[in-house]
Structure 1
């Protein structure tokens, strides 16, 4: 019987293609709590893990529109209601300059919402992860392609997961303490 204080099982693969094949096989087997680590971006990895990021563009659009409306309203209120001052014979509600500032701040808001959303979606900054406790994990930033299977049920699954990763031709298989 294994230690009940385990986070999961970590397997190292030689190539990104082997990592993608292992993820596909594990997902077919019903494993949904998978994490992958590689030294460089691997095309198709997020799709293989089943991750979708459709909410980020909608959030950026909503943030931009709300900021544009708030900016336009603030400028309109200050120029028409709060301090109505006629400059050069222009009407109080001169919308072209109002739109310029609203547009610029809308773009700024969209970029900031996208940045914060990207950081939240990627769970960054990640100052600690249980995989950092495994000595071989230092190769994840050099030449190692790792898959971490988080324990879903009971600690007895560890041996079954080790055998499964061995069947998928993992080079190194280690238990990750919590």
Structure 2
């Protein structure tokens, strides 16, 4: 049984070629596309429609949860579980609870951000399929690549290859699937 490819990748010599190819792919209806370039191309980012992530919300919820857990545990220990009257001070002295609450909130938010990032990006991923494409290492030097993924609803290997060849690339290569 043959393995389904990850997609098809077109290599371009200029950023303008990549920008035009991304625009053409969007106009043709392709939705699962990715672009690689040695420097940021704002036009490509706009065409790809990069979406915002939920990492900020994950950090907020985790930070608030950590703060609530820390404050609640301090309250429980000092007021309910083992109250000690020291010098007539109040048992629930909230200003003394704030530093530890803040530290724990930051800790929980940081850990949740790290774990959320790893899950959203599906890391650790030791190998990405595009690394198997010949000359892809030049994506960090002087070449520009457009990849149409095989899970795109319009993906048909022959038709997608013909489409990519109409965008005037240097070459169109198949990206082998992984796993």
Fold shared, TM-score > 0.5 on shorter chain: yes
- 1:5-57 CA distances to partner (integer Å, 9 max, x unpaired)? 32211111233443233223212211112122233444354443223124222
TM-score by length of 1: 0.82
Paired position in structure 1 for 2:170: 171
TM alignment of 1:1-178, pairs within 5 A: 5-43=4-42, 45-152=44-151, 157-178=156-177
The 3 A distance-change label for structure 1 pair 19 and 88 is farther
Cα distance change on mapping 1:4 and 1:83 into 2, 3 Å: closer
Post-superposition offset of 1:146? 1.5
**Deviation at 1:144?**
2.3
After TM superposition, give the deviation of residue 145 of structure 1 in Å.
2.0
Aligned CA-pair RMSD = 2.6
C-alpha distance in 2 between matches for 1:47 and 1:119: 25
Change (3 A) 1:153 1:57: closer
Query: In the superposition, relative to structure 1, how do residues 126 and 143 fare at CA in structure 2: closer, same or farther (>3 Å)?
Result: farther
Quote the offset at 1:102 in angstroms.
1.1
Please give the secondary structure, in 1, of the residue aligned with 2:111: helix
